[in-house]
């Protein structure tokens, strides 16, 4: 009788111990880094505007009345009390339509699809030159009005986020979503990206230090970040040693009670 109980206990122990999440699956940036040359190239690659991007264009010049005619931000900013939050930026900035164009007052449609901030700024300055006598007084700034992306899967706080900065790394994106949960697979983080070339899916291993060299290390507007669950989650045996031990005791007690009950029948 005792032999059967020991065999049952050993089987349960083997199954449950294999369900524990090893430390190597939880630690970020393991291993030795490679050369930093690729990292330098990636961090300096300028972003090119895509469909549905929101662009903030601001114009300054000596003639403020003339500037007001072209500045959508200034006109509608007064209406919203000059409080430029996410909702206000949607109305005060320029959204790239499905044809890759934006519409600027008195200038008309301008194609910005595939252009960088610098290239769009130069195009705007060129169009405004015909309206201003002293072109040297024109000062134009062009910026992406926040980086909006979605994080889903095994993270603490899934949802859509907008960060108002020039670059957002995958590390920052996950951190702002509450980080990957214990049952999230840090070796299987996917970035789904749609651009003029189509839809691309990138796979990232957050446990590898060389992730900084990856093309998709920096999140782009409208990206979807998905964290795949570990197989331990579907087993439901616990994610920590304490949880697994508790489950082990419960299952062992159930098995023992069942064997004793059958024996006494």
Q: Is the predicted pLDDT of residue 163 greater than 80, yes or no?
A: yes
Do 153 and 198 reside in the same domain of the chain? yes
Tell whether 125 is covered by a domain.
yes
Q: Is the predicted pLDDT of residue 38 greater than 60, yes or no?
A: no
Q: Is the predicted pLDDT of residue 83 greater than 60, yes or no?
A: no
Tell whether 72 is covered by a domain.
yes
Tell whether 123 is covered by a domain.
yes
Do 94 and 208 reside in the same domain of the chain? no
Name the average pLDDT for the chain. Answer: 80
Proportion of the chain above pLDDT 70, given as a percent:
66
Tell whether 12 is covered by a domain.
no
CATH code of 76's domain: 3.30.1950.10
pLDDT given at position 27: 77
Do 86 and 217 reside in the same domain of the chain? no
Mean pLDDT value across residues 108-124:
95
pLDDT given at position 220: 93
pLDDT given at position 158: 97
Q: Is the predicted pLDDT of residue 92 greater than 70, yes or no?
A: yes
Given pLDDT bands bounded at 50, 70 and 90, which one contains residue 74? low
Do 124 and 107 reside in the same domain of the chain? yes
CATH code of 196's domain: 3.10.560.10
pLDDT given at position 19: 54
Cα–Cα dist 74/59, whole Å: 9
Of 212, 153, 193, 152, the closest CA to residue 31 belongs to 212
pTM over 0.75: no
Q: Is the predicted pLDDT of residue 11 greater than 60, yes or no?
A: no
Q: How many CB atoms lie within 10 A of CB 154?
A: 20
Do 41 and 164 reside in the same domain of the chain? yes
Residue 74 or 118, more confident: 118
pLDDT given at position 35: 60
pLDDT given at position 72: 64
pLDDT given at position 45: 79
Q: What is the domain extent for residue 223?
A: 23-46+147-230
Do 137 and 70 reside in the same domain of the chain? yes
Residue 104 or 43, more confident: 104
How many domains are contained in the chain?
A: 2
Tell whether 10 is covered by a domain.
no
Tell whether 237 is covered by a domain.
no
pLDDT given at position 180: 95
Task: Give the model confidence (pLDDT) of 205-254 as tens digits.
Answer: 999 988 888 889 999 999 999 999 998 766 555 555 555 556 666 666 66
Proportion of the chain above pLDDT 90, given as a percent:
43
Mean pLDDT value across residues 8-33:
62
């Amino acid at each position: 009788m005792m032999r059967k109980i020991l065999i049952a206990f050993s089987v349960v122990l083997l199954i449950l111990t294999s369900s524990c999440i090893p430390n190597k699956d939880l630690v970020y940036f393991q291993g030795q880094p490679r050369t930093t040359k690729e990292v330098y190239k990636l961090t300096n690659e300028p972003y090119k505007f895509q469909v549905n991007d929101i662009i903030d264009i601001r114009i300054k010049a000596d003639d403020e009345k003339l500037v007001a005619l072209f500045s959508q931000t200034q006109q509608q900013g007064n209406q919203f009390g000059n409080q430029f939050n996410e909702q206000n930026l949607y109305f005060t900035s320029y959204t790239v339509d499905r044809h890759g164009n934006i519409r600027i007052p008195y200038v008309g449609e301008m194609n910005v699809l595939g252009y960088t901030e610098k290239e769009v700024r130069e195009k705007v300055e060129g169009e405004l030159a015909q309206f201003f006598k002293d072109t040297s007084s024109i000062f134009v700034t062009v910026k992406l009005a926040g980086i909006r992306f979605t994080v889903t899967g095994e993270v603490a706080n899934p949802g859509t986020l907008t960060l108002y900065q020039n670059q957002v790394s995958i590390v920052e994106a996950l951190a702002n979503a509450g980080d990957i949960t214990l049952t999230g697979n840090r070796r299987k983080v996917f970035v789904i990206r749609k651009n003029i070339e189509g839809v691309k899916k990138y796979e990232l291993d957050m446990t590898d230090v060389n992730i900084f060299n990856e093309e998709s290390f920096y999140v782009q507007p409208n990206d979807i970040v998905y964290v795949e669950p570990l197989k331990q989650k579907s087993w439901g045996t616990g994610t920590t040693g304490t949880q697994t031990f508790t489950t082990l005791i419960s299952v062992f007690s159930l098995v023992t009670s069942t064997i004793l009950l059958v024996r006494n029948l």
